[in-house]
Amino acid sequence: MQNYPSRLLEDAVNEFAKLPGIGRKTALRLVLYLLKQDTEEVNHFGKTMIKLRNEIKYCTSCNNISDTEVCNICADNSRDHSIICIVENIQDVLSIENTQQYNGIYHVLGGIISPMDGIGPGELKLDTLEEKISKAEVKEIIFALSTTMEGDTTNFYIYKKFKMYPIKISTIARGVSIGDELEYADEITLGRSIMNRTPFETTLAK
Amino acid sequence: MQNYPSRLLEDAVNEFAKLPGIGRKTALRLVLYLLKQDTEEVNHFGKTMIKLRNEIKYCTSCNNISDTEVCNICADNSRDHSIICIVENIQDVLSIENTQQYNGIYHVLGGIISPMDGIGPGELKLDTLEEKISKAEVKEIIFALSTTMEGDTTNFYIYKKFKMYPIKISTIARGVSIGDELEYADEITLGRSIMNRTPFETTLAK
């Protein structure tokens, strides 16, 4: 434990060191950087974080982060509201949006079932999804969660919950990454990519 | 450039991404982490940074960061005030303090001469150091700056400035690190460690 020459400095280092992936050395470097900036800039930094936490909204329809009641994806009438992609968090929405291959809407769970982290099925935000599905507005839901035990458990839980509805339930394809050489692919991925082989014509179409 | 679903989110990501060593992906991860914390915690985070920048003081004697007019090292009468170690920044003070091998005081330059970064000799905070040296309170100054062109230039500038005073001017020893194997040491370090060889008895004493 280092003996900081200033209580203010120590407090700021402690605050930064609470953030994920930031150790005390990095925290000190960030704090000293802030000290070198104009007071106005640092005030803005602090106020931006406070404003973010106090004013952020979550889309009342899909649970995505939003400045408005309904996020810009859910509010976009040119998108197909009958297909819903289930993702864990907002980074996943950004990743899929970046592909420009998806024109449906999303449902952000805000977490996946993980008994180790104390997240049970009750913690998943499924109310508005259930509402939409029960109103027969939805034709298909696509699971796009991590391929981990937690992700698979969550997929299965949601599948069981909604399987009585007349909707298609799919998951995103798992297989060897484009550009990867076969010899470096792990067995499970390779095995699944053989099992779920796709007609060659569909790859030609792209 | 990603299309964030919220202006507040984007502002916060931009603020984090200004910090050194933090890219936009990491910034987003930090912001989403803050969003999951209690409002009170995030308010505290923001306020701590604002308070730090607005209330921090620099020791009027050695220029180190301090909560008081004079830092706790300069105020400590059990330390030897006749030896001053010249360092670039406060991290260096912490590093040397951690060795528990130094009982003198420090002088923090707050930067080193670097024409590339627009830092000339005028930017170095040397006033209080000159004052102490001219009052004949100082017996020795020790340079502990980086072994770079900038560090060497700064050493030389300070050396020229104070060489007319009857004080000892030394630099910390450069040599092969303890635990390092010779074959991996770079030529310059190894060369200098041969040139500045020390009597074997001094190593036995430790």
How does pLDDT run across B42-94, given as a tens digit for each residue?
Answer: 999 999 999 999 999 999 999 999 988 999 899 999 999 999 999 998 888 98
Task: List chain A residues with CB under 8 Å of B73.
Answer: 5
Q: Do A47 and B46 touch (CB under 8 A)?
A: yes
Complex ipTM above 0.90?
no
Strands in B168-171's sheet, in edge-to-edge order, are B104-108, B80-87, B140-143, B168-171
Residue B160, CA distances (Å) to A154, B135, B167 in order: 70, 18, 12
B167 secondary structure, DSSP code: -
Q: Evaluate if residue B162 carries a pLDDT over 70.
A: yes
Chain A interface disruption, residue of B48, B53, B63, B68, most A CBs within 10 A: B53
Tokens of A3: 């003996």
d(CA B187, CA A34): 38
Residue B204, pLDDT score: 67
Bridge partner list, B86: B107, B143
Positions of CATH 1.10.8.420 in chain A? 7-55
Positions of CATH 3.40.1360.10 in chain A? 78-172
Query: Is residue A160 within a helix (H) or strand (E), and if so which, with residue range?
Result: helix A149-162
Q: Which residue has the tokens 């060593």?
A: B21
Q: From the CB of residue A190, how many other CB atoms can be counted at a distance below 10 Å?
A: 16
Helix (H, G, I), strand (E, B) or coil at B94: helix
| Residue B66: Cβ-neighbour burial (10 angstroms; 0-12, 13-18, 19+) | buried
A121 secondary structure, DSSP code: G
d(CA B55, CA B67): 8
With vertex at residue B88, the alpha carbon angle to CA B53 and CA B107, rounded to the nearest 5 degrees, is 90
Query: Average of pLDDT values for A146-160?
Result: 89
Q: Do A6 and B66 touch (CB under 8 A)?
A: yes
Chain B interface disruption, residue of A26, A53, A63, A119, most B CBs within 10 A: A53
Q: From the CB of residue B143, how many other CB atoms can be counted at a distance below 10 Å?
A: 18
Confirm if A68 and B125 have CB atoms less than 8 A apart.
no
Please name the fold of domain A78-172.
Dna Topoisomerase Vi A Subunit; Chain: A, domain 2 (3.40.1360)
Q: Give the HSE-up count for residue B164: Cα atoms under 13 Å, Cβ half-sphere.
A: 3
Q: From the CB of residue B171, how many other CB atoms can be counted at a distance below 10 Å?
A: 17
- Shortest distance between the Cα of A93 and any Cα of chain B, in A, equals 9
Measured in residues, chain B has a length of: 206
Q: Which of A12, A26, A71 sits opposite B49 (nearest CB)?
A: A12
Task: List chain B residues with CB under 8 Å of A27.
Answer: none
For the four alpha carbons of A122, A124, A129 and A133, in that order, the dihedral sign comes to: negative
Q: Which of A2, A7, A20 sits opposite B29 (nearest CB)?
A: A20
- Shortest distance between the Cα of B22 and any Cα of chain A, in A, equals 10
Positions of CATH 3.40.1360.10 in chain B? 65-172
User: What architecture is the B7-55 domain classified under in CATH?
Assistant: Orthogonal Bundle (1.10)
Q: Which of B3, B9, B29 sits opposite A52 (nearest CB)?
A: B9
Domain B65-172: assigned CATH number = 3.40.1360.10
Q: Do A12 and B98 touch (CB under 8 A)?
A: no
- Shortest distance between the Cα of B182 and any Cα of chain A, in A, equals 29
Q: Evaluate if residue A147 carries a pLDDT over 50.
A: yes
Q: What is the pLDDT of residues A17-71, one digit of tens each?
A: 999 999 999 999 999 999 989 999 999 999 999 999 999 999 999 999 988 899 9
Q: Evaluate if residue A82 carries a pLDDT over 80.
A: yes
Measured in residues, chain A has a length of: 206
Q: Which residue of B has its CA nearest to A66?
A: B6
Q: Do A56 and B35 touch (CB under 8 A)?
A: yes
A–B CB contacts, 8 A cutoff, strictly below: 161
